[in-house]
Structure formats: structure tokens, C-alpha cells
Structure 1
Amino acid sequence: MSSDSGKPDVRTAQQAIVRQIADDVIGKMYIDGIPVDWTRIDLIYTLVGNAWTVVDEIFDPELSNLEMPLPAMLDQPFAKPPPLQPLREMMYVPGEGTWFTMHLTIRSDGEVSTNFGYDQPQSYAEEDVETDLRMYPRHTVPEWMQNDLIIARQLAAERGRRQPLWRRLLRR
């Protein structure tokens, strides 16, 4: 994009958001007392609709680079980094959707890399698919999303048929 268009360089903005997320992770590690001799941190963020999950691993040379979860994340899971949803929005292609999974690798030398997954995520709730489609409409909805919409609607209908306990008690 030319600098005179008045629009920010999207790629630069994306990189800035990813760097902010990485800096937040590293900052939290040091606050929570993670050993300083780590070599790599791998995080996998999954977002569907407004729901999200994170899976993490830290690699330590003392442990022959065996994978181990970040203790800070086990004790107090990271709050969703605020820029994740804006990053999805920024990367949204109208009619095609946006990513569901971001693999973030942070190396101790400061190098940060990402890989975005646009296919069906491994961990999510069917109910969140409808929200995701409202947020990021698609011209062609993949079969797995169509199937999840059916399941989500069936679950909603079942919940609608169930009466709250207080109503059942009043009828006695």
C-alpha cells in the first residue's frame, strides 16, 4: 500500500500485534518466575466466535528440550490477549472468513513467528460456529461448519425444551 493512501500498512499492523502478544507472554513469564534459560515457547491460540483456548509449551535446554507446560499458564491462565480479535478482524477476507488457529513461536533470541490455520480447529464448541459466521460471513460455508450449525441448533432446541428447576418445583 502506498503511504499516501491514508490507510495503515496492514502487514506492519499485523506484525505489531503479534509482537505485542509475544512481549506480553514473555513479560508474564518473568513476573511468574519462569526460568530464564528457556529456548522456545510455542503457543496455539484457537478462536471460534467469541470463545478461545490456548495451548502452551516451553522448551528448556536443561531438560534436553523436552516439552513442558508453562507453569504460569497452569496456575493462572493467560487472559486472552486483547489484540487477538482485532488481528482476526484485520485478516478477515470478506466472503471467505478468517483464521481459527494461530501458532505462535517465540525464541529466546527474540525471533517471533506465526502460522495461521484456516481449516477446522481441533478444539471448539459447535455453538460458537454460528457466532463466528455472524462475525465473519462466508459465501461458501465449509461442510464441517454446516454440520456444526445443525448440532448447535439441536443443542439449543434441547436446552429450550428443558425447564428450569424452579419451574418444575412450582408445578408440584
Structure 2
Amino acid sequence: MSTTQPSGRPTSEQRHDELLQHIGGMLLDAAPDGFRRIDLLVRMTVAVQDATLKVYLPDGTTPEVMPPDGLNAAFGEMRQVLFQPGRGTWFSARCVVNAPVQIDITYNFDHDPRFDPPVPAADFARDLQAFPRDEAFIPDWLRAKLVEASETTEEQNA
């Protein structure tokens, strides 16, 4: 006996898989033929999106390849899909595509994404409003950013 999902909205797991396939397709389309590996690092808050894309060819060279249009939107939705009430969502993700089409993705929910250049602490405060976390899931680095954001707001209001 087989079971099927009811029609309608896909589950978050199904939507994650769909987005991952979409992202993988965009990366494959952007990479030159014969690539060896695609390495994408995405850092995000609700206010800032940063994507660094590096493509490796078999001879070890890394031609300049721009992140494809639509990539940030897909990862923005991925943050929403992976949001866990009380736990929050991820701050950075690494997506690696090894030729021909093996895709691996990892998500960083807890560590400072280390934007370069750094983003204002207020961006992390806004992100926490959009993707709330229970106290137990606010890492020390994020707690420090929230203090900095509140001090900056107080100074601006003084």
C-alpha cells in the first residue's frame, strides 16, 4: 500500500527539495561546461543578502562567475521554509555541487555568518523579529549584536 501527500501546499520538506533542485539548476546553468566543482556561500538576514560563488575547473582555474539572478530570492524562501519556531532559521548556507550533479548543502543556524564587510547590528535585531528564537537558542555573538543594536537605537533617540 502506498501513501500520497494530499494535494495543495507542499510540505516544508518537499518545498526544501524543490528549492534545492531549483538552486542546483541555476548554479549548473551559470557554471561553464566541464566544471569540477561549484562552491556557493550565502549569508543572509532579512535586510542583507550576500552570495559568493566560486567555480573550479579541472585545471584548477577559477573563472569569474556571477551568482545567477533569482538565487537570493530562492535562498530567502529557503530561510522561511527552514524556520523552526523558537529555534529561528539559518544565517549562512554553503552549497557545493561536484560534477556532474552531486549537490550538498549545509546550514549554519548558530554561528556568526561573518559578513564582509560587517553589517549593522540592527540588521540582526530585525532578523530576530522576523525569525524569533527562544532565549536558549540565541548564541552569545547574536546576544552581543542585540545589545549593540539596542545601544545604537538609544543613542539615536537621545
TM bin (shorter chain): 0.7 to 0.9
Secondary structure at 1:113 match in 2: strand
Q: TM-score if structure 1 supplies the norm length?
A: 0.74
> Structure 1 unaligned runs (5+)?
162-172
- Confirm whether residue 102 of structure 1 aligns to residue 97 of structure 2: no
Asked whether the equivalents of residues 44 and 92 of structure 2 are also in contact (C-alpha less than 8 Å), the reply is yes
Percent identical among aligned pairs is: 20
CA distance in 2, matches of 1:159, 1:78: 38
Aligned pair partner of 2:79 in 69, 76, 88: 88
Larger Rg: 1
Report the equivalent of 1:117.
108
Which amino acid is 1:122 matched to? R
For residues 89-120 of structure 1, the C-alpha deviation after alignment (integer angstroms, 9 at most, x for no partner) is 11111011011111101122112110111112
1:1-172 alignment runs, 5 A limit: 3-4=5-6, 7-29=9-31, 34=32, 36-63=33-60, 68=62, 70-73=63-66, 78-79=68-69, 80-120=71-111, 121-123=113-115, 124-125=118-119, 126-140=121-135, 141-158=138-155
How many residues align? The count is 149
Which amino acid is 2:148 matched to? I
CA distance in 2, matches of 1:38, 1:153: 46
Asked whether the equivalents of residues 40 and 105 of structure 1 are also in contact (C-alpha less than 8 Å), the reply is yes
- Runs of 4+ deviating beyond 6 Å: none
> Structure 2 unaligned runs (5+)?
none
Which amino acid is 1:72 matched to? V
Secondary structure at 1:116 match in 2: strand
Secondary structure at 2:73 match in 1: coil
CA distance in 2, matches of 1:38, 1:116: 24
Secondary structure at 1:112 match in 2: strand
